[in-house]
Every structure is written in structure tokens, then in C-alpha cells.
Amino acid sequence: MSLVPIRRALLSVSDKTGVESLAKALVAQNCEIISTGGTRKKLEDAGISTTEISTVTGNPEAFGGRMKTISFNIESALLFDRDRDAEEAKSLGIEAIDLVVCNLYPFKKVMEAGADFETLIENIDIGGPTMVRSAAKNFKHVAVVVDPSDYAELVQELEANNGALSYEFRQRLMTKAFNHTADYDSMIAMAMDKEVGEQSLRLNFKGGKTLRYGENSHQAASYYREVTDKPSLADMKVLHGKALSFNNILDIHGALESIKGSTEIACSVVKHNNPCGLAEGDDQRKVMELAWAGDPISAFGSIVAFNSDLKLETVKFFDLDHEDRSKRKFVEVVIAPKVEADALAYLQKHKNLRVIELNVEDLDYKVDYRYLNGSLLAQDTDDFLHNKMESVTTKEFDAQGHKSLVEFGLRAIRSIKSNSIVLVRQHGNCMQLLGMGAGQPNRLIATKLSIEKAKENLDRELGAEAIAAQAYYERELGSAVMISDAFFPFADNVELAAAEGIRQIVQPGGSIRDKQVIEACDNLGVSMLLTGIRHFKH
């Protein structure tokens, strides 16, 4: 149950990375090496003496390599209980194998390379999983390694324990082995289902963490990471602050998604999974200020995300050391690809503020999943902004001149709950989300909300008497662009927008009433651009 001396090891690997060095380390610990086929040849060519597998099985490799390790002798050497079954093993002539180093036929590699069905079949490993599972089941007495990245720790354990391995290490290897074979079988099962026209999906998540609670305090919650080599949202590096909550994680995802794909310096301010502030430009501090100005009230307790390394000058905007505590801006999370040391030191003035490093552009996932009461929805990620930029009104929409602003607005709209309308504008060298109406069953209400929010922000920006406000509205709203996540079912949205001075509208089109909507634009002197792509977010 404690240390197990490693006297005999069976090495049979498809991925031969590091296997020579491992074998040399085992030999240095006076361990006999048993090996098969290509693995044995590689070791022998490196001058490492091995025992050929057939001398243990009593049978030759056969059927083009389909039969190599499967035998009574091999599985018995792995499976017998060293305490309970020692006498029986001795009477049967079974000599214990203490370590299995095995990774499986490269089924995934050949499948992703587009191999035909027969090649897929030949790359289904049978003997390997049998050995791995046998050793894993008997981990009290046997160690099993399926990942070359574990070789270094294996050697360190052997050297530290005079050629033996600890119970804790064997147990960790055991869990990894069972996950390895489970993933392998799941992958094969999905591929075989596909061959007969059946769609199946097996997802694998681990590293679960218990969260304080879910969306509300009476809901239990956990957080898992998908088993993949790709970067994950779960890889975010928390530099400072208290533990993340369920809602924090949802909002972090929303904040990052709203700046994903931007080629400018971008900042989003997210509350309840909607960006209440968003800006892009060439100056991080200015972009931060404009994003915050999108809705300073809602920004209280928000998530703030950046797509560029975070600088001290930018975070000073939060006034965390202001002597008047009411002037300090309260946010839950700040996230950026990298937080410069002096910026981190400043943010640490707030003991609970979570400071996180993660680059959204590393998160390249092509499928969204949503689990619903024993069912699962899967769809392509919404990463295609438009398939056309077609001006359809008498008054020409300057698609080329406004291309960057339109695409900024489309990135915003695809991150906002439907029905949604946004107003975006060019402000100096920056682009800003000026007004937003989100999550409305009625698109006209979303339009009203976006205009009201824009005017509220303009009032705050103007800081002058109402006499000057109307002229300011006309100038700023007249040059802004209104964007809808889906088509306008009626002309009333256009009529409302035009009455408020809006002169440029973007929508995907596709309604049976597109003609009437476009006619309304022509009658009201409004230009309209059709993008051909809807951006619903439910």
C-alpha cells in the first residue's frame, strides 16, 4: 500500500517521445524492460537491452500486429493481487510486471487526417487499453503511465525512493489512465456512430471546483474545465482578489466575447452579461473612459475587460486611493492579457477586486453548447459579422467610410441579449457604444431604450443647460449609426429613430416588409445598410 519497487516494466508506446530516456532511467534502477514491436526496435537501436514480449506471452506477434500483448501471462502479471494471490501466481509461473508505460494507437491523429474507414479500424487499439486498465485496476501494486509528460516525475520518484513508487503517485497515474481510455473509447464510439449516420457527442470535463453558490445563494454550483489541449476560459490566471463566483464567470465570458476580434485597443464594461459600455481606439485610458461613460450607473459592480496589456495610467481611472471613498469606482473583476506590475500594485489597493490575466484571442472555440433538462443544443459560434454591406436607400450609406464603426457595432450587438439595438459613434480617434437597448420582446422598446440611454449619456457629456442639448443631440445622433441584431418587422423603428435625428441604420434584412421599411427610410431621409447576417443572442 506504500512504496512499490519497480523491477519489471512493460513499454509499448505509439508516441515514442522520451521513451529512450525513460528506459535508460529504468535500467539504471535495475529494472527489466519488456517491450513490443516498434518500441522494442527503437530501444534496441539505442543500445537498451529489452525482453521481447513473446518470451513472456509464449506466443509470437500475429495477424499483422493485432495480437501482441493480449495473453493470460501478461494480464495475470498485471492483475494478480500481490498479497492475496502470490502463491497462486507462483504455481502458474506468473512473474509480476510492476509498471506499464503505454499510449494508444493514434486514432485521433489518423481520423483528423481524413483516413478512410479501414484505416480507422486498424487504428483501434485493443491490447493497449487492456494493459492500461489492468494496471490501473491493480494500482495498489502496479503503476501505469499513459502520458509522456509524466516521465520526468516518474524518474524523480524512482530516484527519490530507490527504485520504488509511492501510493499517492500510483493513484494519480491510475486516475489519468482511466480517463485516457475513457476518452479514447468515446472518440472511437463517436467516429463509428458517424460512419452509420448517427450523430453522437461525448464531452469530457474535469478539475471541478465547488463555487460558493450559483446565480443565487440557494443554488449549489461547480465549475469544470474541458479536457483539451486548447486554452480554456478556466485557465484564467487570478492575480489578486477573492474567489470567483458563478455570475463572475458568466460575466467574464461576456466581457471577453464583446471585445473578441477587435484589432484596436478595446475595453468592455459588462453587467448582467450585457456590455453596458464598450469602446475601441488607440489610447487605452481614453478607451476605458469612453466605455465607462456608456453607463456609469450600471458600471457599479461590473466586469471590465481589455484586449491589451493593462497599464497603470488606465487603472488610475478607478480612483481606488481617493480620500473620498464615494469617489472610488467599484468593479468586481478586471481582466487583460497581461497586467503590468505597477498596475497590479495599484489594483491591489482594493483587497477583494479580482485581477485576472487571460487573452481572449487565445480562446478559439468553434462550437457553443447549451444543456437543457437532459438535452443539449450545439451550434457554430457567432464569429461571422456580415456577408455583405449593401446600401439599399436613396440616400447612400457610406459603407466604406463607416466600415470600422459598423463592424464595431456588430461586435457589440452579437454580445447583447436580444432583442437588441445599439447606437455607436466615432468619438475622436475612438469608437463608442453610445446607447443600448437589450433583452426586449418588442424591438421598438429596444430602440426607445437605446435612444434614451444615448441622450442620457450626451447630457452627462455636455454638462450644459437644456437649451444647448437639442443641438448636441442633433449633431451626435445624426452622425451615429443605429444597428439592429435582426430585421425590422415594421417601419415604426425607422420612424422613431428618424424623429430623434438618427440618419444611419444598419440591419440584416430578410423581413417580408423590407420594402416598406426601406421606403420609410427614403421618405424620412435615412440611409440604410443591409448586412445579411442576424445576431440573435438568447
Do 301 and 173 belong together in one domain?
A: no
Residue 202 lies inside a defined structural domain of this protein: no
Q: What is the pLDDT of residue 291?
A: 96
Residue 327 lies inside a defined structural domain of this protein: yes
Residue 312 lies inside a defined structural domain of this protein: yes
- Alpha carbon separation from 164 to 25, 74, 110, 152 (Å, rounded): 12, 21, 37, 15
d(Cα 337, Cα 356) in Å, to the nearest integer?
8
Do 345 and 468 belong together in one domain?
A: no
CATH number for the domain spanning 44: value is 3.40.50.1380
Alpha helices per DSSP H over 113-166: 117-122, 127-137, 151-160
Residue 537 lies inside a defined structural domain of this protein: no
Dihedral-angle region of residue 390 (phi above 0 means left; psi in -120 to 50 means alpha; beta otherwise):
beta
Cell 499483422 appears where? 64
Do 76 and 188 belong together in one domain?
A: yes
Q: Catalogue the E-assigned strands of 282-364.
A: 302-306, 331-336, 354-357
Alpha helices per DSSP H over 417-513: 443-462, 466-479, 492-499
Averaged over 124-153, what is the pLDDT?
Answer: 95
Do 317 and 407 belong together in one domain?
A: no
Q: What is the DSSP letter of 245?
A: P
Do 61 and 182 belong together in one domain?
A: yes
Pairing of strands 265-271, 302-306: antiparallel
Do 163 and 265 belong together in one domain?
A: no
Active site residue 242: no
Res 16 pLDDT > 60: yes
Choosing from 137, 316, 338, 395, the catalytic residue is 137
Do 37 and 171 belong together in one domain?
A: yes
d(Cα 194, Cα 200) in Å, to the nearest integer?
8
Q: What is the pLDDT of residue 367?
A: 93
Last residue of a domain, one of 180, 195, 210: 195
Last residue of a domain, one of 297, 328, 362: 362
Averaged over 464-487, what is the pLDDT?
Answer: 86
Q: What is the pLDDT of residue 101?
A: 96
Q: Cβ-count burial of 325 within 10 angstroms (0-12 exposed, 13-18 middle, 19+ buried)? A: exposed
Do 273 and 139 belong together in one domain?
A: no
Residue 210 lies inside a defined structural domain of this protein: no
Do 284 and 395 belong together in one domain?
A: no
Q: What is the pLDDT of residue 468?
A: 72
Active site residue 137: yes
Do 415 and 515 belong together in one domain?
A: yes
Do 47 and 191 belong together in one domain?
A: yes
Choosing from 108, 176, 240, 272, the catalytic residue is 272
Residue 378 lies inside a defined structural domain of this protein: no
Pairing of strands 302-306, 331-336: parallel
Last residue of a domain, one of 328, 362, 396: 362
Q: What is the pLDDT of residue 350?
A: 93
Averaged over 129-147, what is the pLDDT?
Answer: 96
CATH number for the domain spanning 500: value is 3.40.140.20
Residue 179 lies inside a defined structural domain of this protein: yes
Task: Produce one character per residue of 73-102: b if its CB has 16 or more CB atoms within 10 Å, e if not.
Answer: bbbbbbbbeeeeeeeebeeeebebbbbbbb
Cell of 396: 447612400
- Alpha carbon separation from 134 to 5, 127, 137, 484 (Å, rounded): 18, 11, 5, 59
pLDDT in tens, 42-64: 999 999 999 999 889 888 888 88
Averaged over 35-40, what is the pLDDT?
Answer: 89
**pTM: predicted TM-score of the whole model, two decimal places:** 0.86
pLDDT in tens, 297-311: 999 999 999 999 999
- Count of domains in the chain? 3
User: Domain range holding 290?
Assistant: 219-225+232-362
Residue 443 lies inside a defined structural domain of this protein: yes
Do 340 and 395 belong together in one domain?
A: no
